[in-house]
Structure 1
Amino acid sequence: MSTHRAVVLSNLGDKPIIEQRLTRLPAAGQILVAPLFSPVLSYQHAVHSGERGNPLALPMVPGTAAVGRVVAVGPDATKLKAGDLVFLDATLRGRDDPGITSLQGLFRIHAALDDTWHDGSWAERFLVPLENAFKLEADAVAANGATMSQLTAIPQLVVPYGGWRTGGLRPGGVVAIAYASGAFGGAAIDVALGMGASRVVALGRRAETLVPAVRAFDKAAARPGIVVPVVLSGDPDRDAKAIRAATQGERGLDVFLDLSPAAAASSCTALLAAAVLALKPGGTLVLMGGVREPVAVPYQLVMLRNITIKGRFMFLREWVEELIALIECGSVSLARQTVQCFSLDDHERAVQAAKDDAGSGKCVALTPVIESQDTSL
């Protein structure tokens, strides 16, 4: 049986090391892929140390979503074949209960899923559920001026796409994002513009990071000024007024997408109060952040203004296909994405780079397999 190299985390707090692992052939419902670009998360170091508190099945191969080449497919595959370029979604869904979800290579939620699929994409071979592989048309992407490495941004883009779809964003919609200067917040702007938003209010806590991030959109946009920065004060009334002032005719928002990280928990109650005040009557607040503590919401305002509050963990499978179509036709641009690539042997440097330089339009990726290498069994 053939083998491949993989990064392996054996214990929380230990440094991951590279090991030789047996390469398993795909069974029914499985696909074997050679990852070309495996994203490194900005908080990957905290996952490995245990600081983030993610439940993990150890030992394991880290790494979540990826872009790669199909090596082999299971006997029930009807569309994908060896050699296809694919995006690999790390969201595991129960086949007999789609309400049960987990994240391959990152988060152990349900033993039936994670004991089978817990190894991630930081390896020369990556076994995933067949339904989690989505074919990419490289020629279509290249025709819009994007590079193969920029496809590394798909995992960042598809998360806020799930948020906008949950919030019912329509062409011409007016939206706000908190917080907009981070990787996922910046991706949320790219996606909102690609979906036809007429105004995007970009929220942040520090002007020195928020304003440069918005300027990058102005340089790339056909309509400069469509993305408007608003620095939050922490006062709900003041912030709501500033957000509404950034919308056309101070009409307010259709959708507010909250991507608050865990570190922003203390300010989240004030932020959500501002969101409810800034939304139009009948507007929607979507919660997708990492806040783990209970947060208060202004009950009476939500009721009187007919505000809908929705939570969204990741996205639906069909939404991945929609986003890929928007990228391939050029509606959602990859032009802002800069990617630092590291070899599998340089995984420690990649983790540090992702920690040190996380931000809007920035990706760090491992390249377990180089495109020119053999991707056969």
Structure 2
Amino acid sequence: MKAALFERIGKSPAVVVVPDPVAGDGDVVVDVVAAPVLAYAHEVLSGERPMLFELPFVPGTGAIGRVSVVGPDATELKVGDWVYCDPTIRARDSQGLPAIALQGLTANGPTALPLQRQYRNGSWAERLRLPLENVVPIGDIDADDAGRWLTLGTMLVPYGGLSSVGLTAGETVVVNGSTGAFGSAAVAVALAMGAAGVVATGRNEAVLDALVAKGSGRVRPARMTGDQDADTAAIRTAARGPIDVVFDILPPQASEAQVLAAIRSVRPGGRISLMGGVGMGGGGELVFPYPWLMRNNITIKGQWMYPRDAVGRLVALARSGVLDLHRYEVSEFPLDALAEAIDNAAATAGPFARTVLRI
């Protein structure tokens, strides 16, 4: 089969012929129809964004495809099924928080390197092998829509964070950092989960206006200035009532003040979900207002990625039409045009855009 093999940091993957994957016990092989290209793929390949992996491997996180081969212990998956391939590979032998590897990208720590070795090859290939539990049927779809179904991969991350604090229908949620790829997806997911109102924070007025336009009257913008007290006041004004949940997805380059401005807007007894990267880019550590948190019974939940059952639940929202996959503009490239696809992903990074390889 053809695959994009990544052999050395700083050298672009080459599309070569490699052996077909073989499904063993607990495995499935999928014929890849569409695979995502991350906006920061060039940073990973160049070494600018360090990741924990062993070379060589085939990059590519997640896919939409059709089941080609199932292992001998498969009970429900059938050859030909349309499926979403979840790249979050979890250790099967852990009784607590499992080690995790993102297939075709990175391990989340040294203990996850055996997972990266076993399922190192990702979806920039004609076929993909992965654990049975990472293949989720999505029902019959039009093959032309495969790239659009890949947007589930972006939406799964905020879905994990919003679910972790129990966002329920009728509540008001703040999406802090709503103008990026994951933030804008969080707005869409919160609406699909039944939020009565979503306060979208950010500095990019054009994107905020676009979120409001797509929000069916339930999205209200709060333009951030960098003044913590003023920004908290702006969020509360936009909410028009008590704020039940704050979801933070700000990037590493954002300031601690931006996080605190949103945190302090939540009502007494409210919940906060942290999925952003503040402090990871060399900035200062976030200092929480301990007395205020304690006296107001605030719940804070850190969340990395999402639980396994989140994929099926999000697929159900998409199939019902409550979660609109058509808000995204999808740019498609063949595998042989991988370099152009990587450049396009970086150039169009942000909300409502996705770059896809059609295999």
**CA displacement 1:235-277 (0-9 Å, x = unmatched):** 22111111011113x32x111111111222xx1x212221222
Instruction: Select the residue among 339, 344, 349 that pairs with 1:358.
Output: 349
Aligned twin of 2:123: 121
> What SS class does the counterpart of residue 346 from structure 2 fall into?
helix
Mapped to 2, the partners of 1:31 and 1:130 lie a distance apart of 6
1:263-342 alignment runs, 5 A limit: 263-264=253-254, 267=255, 269-291=256-278, 292=280, 293=282, 294-342=285-333
Q: What code does the residue aligned with 2:269 have?
A: G
Residue type at the aligned position of 2:104: G
Judge conservation of contact 2:21–2:128 (CA < 8 Å) in 1: no
Aligned to 1:6: 3
- Asked if the contact 1:276–1:301 (Cα under 8 Å) also holds between the matched residues in 2, the reply is no
Contact 1:138–1:148 (CA under 8 A) maintained in structure 2: no
Deviations 1:340-370 (A, max 9, x none): 01000111111111101122221111112xx
Please give the alpha-carbon distance, in whole angstroms, between the structure 1 residues aligned to 2:140 and 2:176.
32
What secondary structure, in the 3-state scheme, does the structure 2 residue paired with 1:148 have? Answer: helix
Q: Which amino acid aligns with 1:71?
A: S
Contact 2:327 2:352 in 1 (8 A): yes
1:55 equivalenced with 2:52 (yes/no): yes
Q: Distance in 2 between matches of 1:309 and 1:162?
A: 14
Match of 1:202 in 2: 200
The answer for the alignment partner of 1:102 in structure 2 is 101
* Equivalent residue letter for 2:264: L
Equivalent AA in structure 1 for residue 87 of structure 2: A
| 1:239 alignment counterpart | 231
1: CA distance, partners of 2:148 / 2:59: 21
Query: 2:12 & 2:267 partners in 1: Cα distance?
Result: 49
TM-score normalised to the size of structure 1?
0.89
Equivalent of 2:249 in 242, 250, 259: 259
**What root-mean-square deviation, in Å, do the aligned CA atoms of Structure 1 and Structure 2 show?**
1.5
Contact residue 176 and residue 262 of structure 2 kept, 8 A? no
Amino acid at match of 1:285: I
- For 1:112 and 1:270, locate their aligned partners in 2 and report how far apart those are by CA, in whole Å: 39
1:170 pairs with 2:157: no
Question: Per-residue displacement from partner, 1:296-353 (whole Å, max 9, x unpaired)?
Answer: 2222221122111111111111111111111111111112111101000111111111
* Post-superposition offset of 1:192: 0.6
Which residue of structure 2 aligns with residue 151 of structure 1? 149
2:63 is aligned to: 66
- Structure 1 Cα separation of the partners of residues 52 and 150 of structure 2: 25
Per-residue CA deviations over 1:179-232 (Å, capped at 9, x if unaligned) read 1111111111111111100000111123243323433x14xx3xx2x1011111
The structural deviation recorded for 1:73 is: 0.5
Identify the residue that residue 227 of structure 1 maps to in structure 2: 219
Contact 2:179-2:204 at 8 Å conserved across structures: no
- What is the DSSP-based 3-state SS (H/G/I as helix, E as strand, rest coil) of the residue aligned with 1:278? coil
The residue identity in structure 1 corresponding to 2:64 is V
User: Does the CA-based 8 Å contact 2:90-2:98 persist in structure 1?
Assistant: yes
Provide the rounded CA distance (Å) in 1 between the counterparts of 2:211 and 2:188. 12
Instruction: Look up the equivalent residue of 2:219 and give its one-letter code.
Output: V
Residues in 2 aligned to 1:120 and 1:230: alpha-carbon distance in whole angstroms? 39
CA distance in 1, matches of 2:325, 2:15: 32
Output the CA distance in 2 between the equivalents of 1:365 and 1:214: 26
The answer on 1:138 being equivalent to 2:140 is yes
The number of equivalent residue pairs is 349
Alpha-carbon separation, structure 1, partners of 2:29 and 2:168: 37
Which amino acid is the alignment partner of residue 316 of structure 1? P
CA distance in structure 2 between the partners assigned to 1:138 and 1:254 by the alignment: 37
- Measured in 2, the distance between the counterparts of 1:44 and 1:15 equals 10
How high is the TM-score relative to the length of structure 2? 0.94
Alpha carbons 2:35, 2:147 under 8 Å: kept: no
2:236 aligned partner, one-letter code: R
Alignment partners' CA distance in 1, 2:277 and 2:75 = 37
